[in-house]
């Protein structure tokens, strides 16, 4: 597969935009692991309420010493490999490898040099860890045929001994239906007697039986889709059907850790393939944006189709796809989603319906739902579910459906019986109990491994449990030592994993009993001590002394949450919290775990770098005081706490006896000295905004705590003034000019401007921006308007609210440039409008249309930290985070933005009635903010997502393309040292600009 150049060196971001730290030597394979080490708990507050429950995944970073030793191990093996090749060449060592004949030396070699070298010198050392023959049902236990090798694993011989009752931790037998007794085995046996084993024909000829149709109807009902189709092989379900869904001129976006069947299907399709970082939504969105903006290579035509390929559970990582975010991106950019639920169907969700049910999503939001019957159902084959039109198309075009022999009837009956058991249609609760047991076994097994000190990857609810081994010598050693103790495991190394991330993979089953898991865990711990595999530097809260069956999901989630929260504490603090919970076990139960969780969260919050925003509840009022409350005397819990307002010196001037004194007091309970210091720093911070009123007590305390990233310049490093004195230029963070939302529905109609509030807040959350409302007068009148709106001269005739008493100058006098250009494009210039409407480039019209509807809304409050850097603000109406920066520098060319502006208004943004902080907001025809001008000393704000160059291409180049109308070009062209631009440009300038417009 290929990867876009712009994505190769890009820093990996998490789904909520947090930029992780880097350790290129240790984690240069996929950096999402480092982010998830910092932010394990991913809930609704992180991403627009897409998640209804905590989303916890663990990817602990590789210890540096282990990484270095692993690379050294591979280096030593490589050196000895070349030495052995030299000895084989000179016949000092017996050569077992295949050699090409001398007469074929000029032919193209059949083997690639490195792959062949790796196989004969590294893989052969541990070849005995794979391809082990068994001679029983691969259920919770199995019988293994013993074998031995006398030539270093080049050949094997059977010893005649059978190893009995090996605990099976390697099979995908998630729900335990791989068995030779019970309802499924009985039904399959009866069908074998009635129909036989083979069908000997394809579905389109003589191989379509009624049981096949019943299976497909039952599968569609189970998935909640219109129709479904079954295939005889799970691998072929992907590799043979993806080429039918996509072809030349289509774009496939594939997760970098997708299964080989998805990779093969994508390659066979002939589509262009782009790879995004594993489970990284920012990487996926960047590829989507680039694909829509740039189109196909060379021709730049729009893609015929964009198909996103993801898996439900990734079989080597144990991670679960962030499906809510993928669906949100799919809808936003009009892409198609292909979901492979091979490992998640039956293993996730309250009723086993996979990752879609796990997240509580609608199956109709997934275009193609693929899965296999080989794992949770204990059978063979695969399926594809979706709309009826899709399935009908596959029946007539799929190679796997047309040319492959029909599924064997005993296999069909095994699937039908097990699926009915899961759905409860057999009249029992066996299926539901198996799903419950699998979830409990998964949580318990993962929990115990972490307690032992192993590094475990994946999601807490994933039955695929990777345990890190790292070093190549320990891959074979772990597998052999486990088998000696009657535990069968799967070990995985390069090239199936990154070179330093070798691992053992355990697959948990509902068929495992508590005794089996305990026996396996004891052996794993013993072998881990022998091979020194307990790499984790975290200390985990010990399990409660309670029976396994009585452990609740709530307590298990709390324990997992505890593990992730303690990761940032030092060893002494971890021991303290462990001792605190251990001493009271049996007396407080999970309440003690929750109490420790709160203590740890508080310390983690203070230690995080950079500090995360504190989610306190903030309310604004005219009079607000922050004082230190006297410590109350010990009282009974049922007695109320009485607050005496006379203890606050800042309220000395307030009329406490009036009917409505309009006073608000914020009480913050602090039980940590470090928190008190942080609050004192916030109180001592200084405000540079000019104030014209003496009736604003505590304004410095009121305003600066609004900004999360504010640091007192007098205490922390040089401020802006010192930088200028030292001759240093203030630079802003570089931002790409990305076009948001271009891939949305092109044909939707223009949305009218909505006067409702665009910013919504949770009850316990606050943000850089205050609610979009304006308080006029002395707090008695409120104007509920859109962001940046107030009664202006143009609307005062129809304004249904009284004018603001301090709005002396309703409308700022427009500059000559505004008078000339601010209303031309969308105003009443009939000639220009006709020129635009007569343009035949439909794509260009839709492009301009879409850009203007996606412009951000006007923020209400100027954030002070934008003076030093760029800031983020989440626009609830557009469901997107926009980045804003200061545009007051002399190099800025704000007049380039003006062609899109319908008009500019002046807004009341002050929280004090006597202070008029008026600012300019320039809007387009549908009240979307373009730029924001100066007012009361506040710099200009510009959304960095819409650069001057982008606005130039959106607003100016269409006129050049359509009619060669250079008047637009001159009117928005930035001043050239104050000189008037020539009316007629040079021919070379015209041709260059025209070529640029066509390419764009």
Q: Which two tokens stand for residue 6?
A: 């712009």
Q: For position 58, what pLDDT does the model report?
A: 75
**How far is the C-alpha of 174 from the C-alpha of 439, rounded, in Å?**
10
Question: For residue range 534-545, what is the model confidence (pLDDT) as tens digits?
Answer: 999 876 655 544
Closest by alpha carbon to 874, among 852, 856, 887?
A: 856
Q: At residue 15, does pLDDT exceed 90?
A: no
Closest by alpha carbon to 945, among 868, 864, 870, 996?
A: 870
Q: Are 931 and 919 in contact (CB under 8 A)?
A: no
Sheet strands side by side (includes 157-168): 141-148, 157-168, 487-488
**How far is the C-alpha of 863 from the C-alpha of 613, rounded, in Å?**
15
Q: For position 752, what pLDDT does the model report?
A: 34
**How far is the C-alpha of 251 from the C-alpha of 921, rounded, in Å?**
40
Question: For residue range 558-572, what is the model confidence (pLDDT) as tens digits?
Answer: 555 555 445 444 444
Q: Are 480 and 129 in contact (CB under 8 A)?
A: yes
Q: Are strands 157-168 and 141-148 parallel, antiparallel or unpaired?
A: antiparallel
For residue 985, give every residue at least 6 positions away whose Cβ sits within 8 Å of its Cβ, in sequence order, or none. Answer: 966, 969, 993
User: 300's torsion region: left (phi>0), alpha (psi -120 to 50) or beta?
Assistant: left
Q: Are 27 and 34 in contact (CB under 8 A)?
A: yes
**How far is the C-alpha of 692 from the C-alpha of 578, rounded, in Å?**
55
Per-residue pLDDT band for 904 (boundaries 50, 70, 90) equals very low
Closest by alpha carbon to 423, among 345, 321, 342, 341?
A: 345
Cis, bond preceding 701 (omega within 30 deg of 0):
no
Q: Which two tokens stand for residue 65?
A: 């010493």
Q: Are 357 and 498 in contact (CB under 8 A)?
A: no
Burial class of residue 158 in the structure, from the number of CB atoms within 10 Å of its CB (0-12 exposed, 13-18 middle, 19+ buried): exposed
**How far is the C-alpha of 341 from the C-alpha of 313, rounded, in Å?**
7
Per-residue pLDDT band for 742 (boundaries 50, 70, 90) equals very low
**How far is the C-alpha of 72 from the C-alpha of 860, rounded, in Å?**
57
Percent of the chain with pLDDT over 70: 48
Write the CA distances from 236 to 345, 368, 390, 833, 930, integer angstroms. 18, 15, 18, 56, 51
Per 3-state DSSP, the chain is made up of helix, strand and coil in percentages (nearest 5) of 35, 15, 50
Question: For residue range 942-957, what is the model confidence (pLDDT) as tens digits?
Answer: 555 544 444 444 444 4
Q: For position 455, what pLDDT does the model report?
A: 95
Q: What's the gap between Cα 243 and its chain centre?
A: 27
Q: Are 690 and 937 in contact (CB under 8 A)?
A: yes
Q: Where are the alpha helices (DSSP H) in 224-376?
A: 234-239, 242-245, 260-269, 281-294, 323-332, 355-358
**How far is the C-alpha of 863 from the C-alpha of 689, rounded, in Å?**
12
> Residue range 861-885: average pLDDT?
60
Q: Which two tokens stand for residue 334?
A: 């009009």
**How far is the C-alpha of 353 from the C-alpha of 377, rounded, in Å?**
12
What would you measure as the largest C-alpha separation in the chain, in angstroms? 109
How does DSSP classify residue 649?
G
Q: Are 897 and 947 in contact (CB under 8 A)?
A: no
> Residue range 665-673: average pLDDT?
50
Per-residue pLDDT band for 51 (boundaries 50, 70, 90) equals confident
**How far is the C-alpha of 383 from the C-alpha of 412, rounded, in Å?**
12
Q: Which two tokens stand for residue 884?
A: 């804003």
Neighbours of 152 (CB within 10 A): 12
Q: Which domains are present in the chain?
A: 183-423 (3.40.640.10), 431-555 (3.90.1150.10), 556-612 (no CATH), 624-725 (no CATH), 821-904+922-999 (no CATH)
The chain-wide mean pLDDT, for the chain, equals: 67
Q: Which two tokens stand for residue 303?
A: 């893609």
Q: For position 85, what pLDDT does the model report?
A: 87
Q: Are 435 and 463 in contact (CB under 8 A)?
A: no
Closest by alpha carbon to 391, among 237, 199, 236?
A: 237
Neighbours of 983 (CB within 10 A): 8
* Length of the chain in terms of residues written: 1000
Least confident interval from 37-46, 274-283, 487-496: 37-46
Q: For position 454, what pLDDT does the model report?
A: 95
Comparison of pLDDT for 631 and 416, the residue scoring more: 416
Q: Which two tokens stand for residue 415?
A: 């699937």
Per-residue pLDDT band for 764 (boundaries 50, 70, 90) equals very low
For residue 900, give every residue at least 6 positions away whose Cβ sits within 8 Å of its Cβ, in sequence order, or none. Answer: 825, 826, 852, 855, 924, 930, 951, 954, 955
Cis, bond preceding 610 (omega within 30 deg of 0):
yes
Comparison of pLDDT for 706 and 249, the residue scoring more: 249
- Supply the DSSP string of 676-715, one letter for each residue: HHHHHHHHH----S----S--TTHHHHHGGG-TT---TTT
- Supply the DSSP string of 793-852, one letter for each residue: TTTTTT-SSPPPTT--S-SPPPPHHHHHHTTTTTSS-HHHHHHHHT---HHHHHHHHHHH
Closest by alpha carbon to 404, among 193, 703, 616, 204?
A: 204
Beta strands, E only, 564-696: 623-625, 663-665
Q: Scanning the structure block, which residue is given the tokens 């975010």?
A: 325
The sign of the dihedral angle between the CA atoms of 834, 839, 840, 841 is negative
Q: For position 580, what pLDDT does the model report?
A: 46
**How far is the C-alpha of 207 from the C-alpha of 193, rounded, in Å?**
18
H helix and E strand count, the chain: 31, 26
Per-residue pLDDT band for 389 (boundaries 50, 70, 90) equals very high
Backbone angles phi, psi at 204, to 5 degrees: -80, -10
Q: Which two tokens stand for residue 316?
A: 């080597």
Q: Are 730 and 870 in contact (CB under 8 A)?
A: no
**How far is the C-alpha of 905 from the C-alpha of 922, rounded, in Å?**
7
Q: At residue 398, does pLDDT exceed 50?
A: yes
Per-residue pLDDT band for 622 (boundaries 50, 70, 90) equals very low
Closest by alpha carbon to 367, among 275, 241, 204?
A: 241
Q: At residue 183, does pLDDT exceed 50?
A: yes
**Number of Cα atoms under 13 Å in the Cβ half of residue 625:** 16
Q: For position 869, what pLDDT does the model report?
A: 55
**How far is the C-alpha of 165 from the C-alpha of 519, rounded, in Å?**
12
Q: What's the gap between Cα 31 and its chain centre?
A: 13
């Amino acid at each position: 597969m290929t990867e876009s150049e712009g994505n190769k060196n890009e820093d990996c971001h998490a789904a909520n935009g947090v930029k992780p730290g880097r350790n290129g030597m240790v984690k240069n394979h996929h950096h999402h692991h480092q982010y998830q080490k910092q932010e394990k708990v991913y809930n609704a507050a992180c991403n627009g309420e897409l998640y209804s429950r905590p989303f916890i995944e663990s990817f602990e970073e590789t210890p540096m010493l282990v990484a270095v030793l692993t690379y050294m191990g591979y280096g030593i093996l490589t050196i000895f490999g070349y030495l052995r090749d030299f000895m084989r060449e000179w016949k000092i060592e017996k050569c077992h490898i295949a050699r090409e004949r001398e007469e074929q030396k000029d032919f193209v070699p059949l083997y690639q040099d490195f792959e062949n070298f790796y196989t004969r010198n590294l893989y052969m050392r541990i070849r005995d860890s794979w391809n082990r023959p068994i001679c029983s049902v691969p259920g919770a236990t199995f019988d293994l045929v013993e074998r031995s090798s006398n030539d270093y694993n080049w050949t094997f011989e059977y010893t005649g001994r059978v190893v009995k009752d090996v605990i099976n931790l390697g099979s995908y037998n998630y729900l335990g239906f791989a068995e030779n007794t019970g309802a499924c085995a009985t039904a399959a046996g009866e069908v074998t007697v009635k129909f036989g084993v083979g069908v000997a024909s394809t579905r389109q000829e003589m191989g379509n039986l009624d049981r096949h149709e019943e299976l497909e109807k039952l599968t569609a009902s189970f998935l909640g889709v219109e129709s479904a189709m079954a295939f005889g092989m799970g691998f072929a379900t992907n590799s043979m059907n993806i080429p039918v869904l996509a072809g030349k001129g289509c774009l496939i976006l594939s997760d970098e850790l997708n299964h080989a069947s998805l990779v093969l299907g994508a390659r066979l399709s002939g589509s262009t393939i782009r790879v995004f970082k594993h489970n990284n939504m920012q990487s996926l969105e960047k590829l989507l944006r680039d694909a829509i903006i740039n189109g196909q290579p060379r021709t730049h035509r729009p893609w015929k189709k964009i198909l996103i390929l993801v898996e439900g559970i990734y079989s080597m990582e144990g991670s679960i796809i962030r499906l809510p975010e993928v669906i949100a991106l799919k809808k936003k950019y009009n892409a198609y989603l292909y979901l492979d639920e091979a490992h998640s169907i039956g293993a996730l969700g309250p009723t086993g319906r996979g990752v879609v049910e796990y997240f509580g999503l609608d199956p109709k939001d997934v275009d193609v739902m693929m899965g296999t019957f080989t794992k949770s159902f204990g059978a063979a084959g695969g399926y594809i579910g979706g709309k009826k039109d899709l399935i009908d198309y596959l029946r007539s075009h799929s190679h796997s459906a047309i040319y492959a022999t029909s599924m064997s009837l005993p296999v069909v009956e095994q699937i039908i019986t097990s699926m009915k058991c899961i759905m409860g249609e057999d009249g029992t609760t066996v299926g539901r109990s198996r799903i419950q047991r699998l979830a409990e076994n998964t949580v318990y097994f993962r929990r115990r491994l972490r307690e032992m000190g192993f590094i475990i990857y994946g999601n807490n609810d994933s039955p695929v449990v990777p345990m890190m081994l790292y070093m190549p010598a320990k891959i074979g050693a772990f597998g052999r030592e486990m088998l000696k103790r009657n535990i069968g495991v799967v070990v995985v190394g390069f090239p199936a994993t990154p070179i330093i991330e070798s691992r053992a993979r355990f697959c948990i089953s509902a068929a495992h009993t508590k005794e089996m898991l305990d026996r396996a865990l004891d052996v794993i711990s013993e072998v881990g001590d022998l091979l020194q595999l307990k790499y984790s530097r975290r200390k985990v809260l010990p399990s409660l002394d309670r029976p396994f069956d009585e452990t609740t999901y709530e307590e298990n989630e709390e324990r997992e949450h505890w593990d992730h929260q303690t990761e940032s504490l030092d060893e002494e603090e971890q021991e303290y919290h462990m001792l605190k919970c251990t001493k009271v076990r049996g007396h407080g139960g999970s309440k003690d775990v929750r109490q420790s969780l709160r203590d740890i969260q508080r310390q983690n919050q203070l230690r995080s770098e950079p500090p995360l925003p504190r989610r306190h509840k903030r309310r604004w009022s005219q009079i607000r005081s922050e004082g230190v409350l006297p410590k109350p005397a010990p009282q009974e819990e049922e007695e109320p706490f009485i607050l005496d307002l006379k203890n606050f010196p800042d309220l000395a001037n307030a009329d406490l006896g009036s009917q409505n004194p309009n006073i608000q007091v914020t009480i913050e309970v602090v039980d940590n000295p470090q928190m008190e210091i942080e609050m004192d720093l916030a109180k001592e911070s200084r405000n540079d905004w000019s104030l014209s009123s003496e009736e604003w007590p505590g304004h410095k305390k009121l305003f600066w705590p609004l900004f999360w990233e504010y640091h007192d310049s007098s205490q922390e490093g040089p401020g802006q003034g010192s930088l200028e004195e030292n001759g240093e230029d203030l630079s802003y963070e570089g931002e790409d000019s990305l076009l948001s939302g271009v891939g949305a529905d092109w044909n939707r109609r223009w949305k009218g401007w909505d006067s409702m509030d665009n910013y919504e807040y949770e009850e316990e959350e606050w943000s850089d921006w205050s609610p979009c409302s304006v308080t006029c007068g002395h707090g008695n009148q409120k104007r509920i308007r859109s962001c940046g709106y107030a009664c202006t001269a143009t609307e005062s005739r129809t304004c249904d609210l009284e004018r603001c008493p301090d709005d002396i100058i309703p409308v700022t006098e427009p500059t000559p440039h505004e008078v000339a250009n601010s209303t031309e494009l969308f105003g009443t210039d009939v000639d220009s409008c006709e020129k635009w409407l007569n343009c035949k480039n439909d794509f260009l019209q839709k492009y301009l249309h879409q850009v203007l509807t996606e412009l951000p809304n006007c923020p209400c409050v100027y954030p002070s930290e934008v003076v030093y850097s760029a800031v983020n603000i989440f626009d609830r109406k557009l469901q997107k985070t926009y980045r804003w920066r200061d545009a007051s520098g002399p190099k800025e060319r704000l007049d380039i933005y003006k062609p899109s502006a319908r008009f500019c208004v002046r807004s009341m943004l002050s929280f004090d009635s006597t202070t008029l902080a008026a600012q300019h907001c320039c809007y387009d025809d549908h009240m979307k903010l373009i730029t924001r001008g100066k007012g009361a000393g506040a710099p200009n704000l510009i959304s960095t997502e819409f650069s001057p160059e982008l606005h130039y291409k959106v607003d100016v180049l269409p006129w050049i393309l359509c009619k060669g109308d250079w008047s637009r070009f001159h009117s928005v062209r930035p001043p050239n040292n104050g000189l008037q631009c020539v009316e007629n440009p040079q021919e070379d300038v015209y041709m260059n600009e025209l070529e640029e417009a066509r390419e764009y």
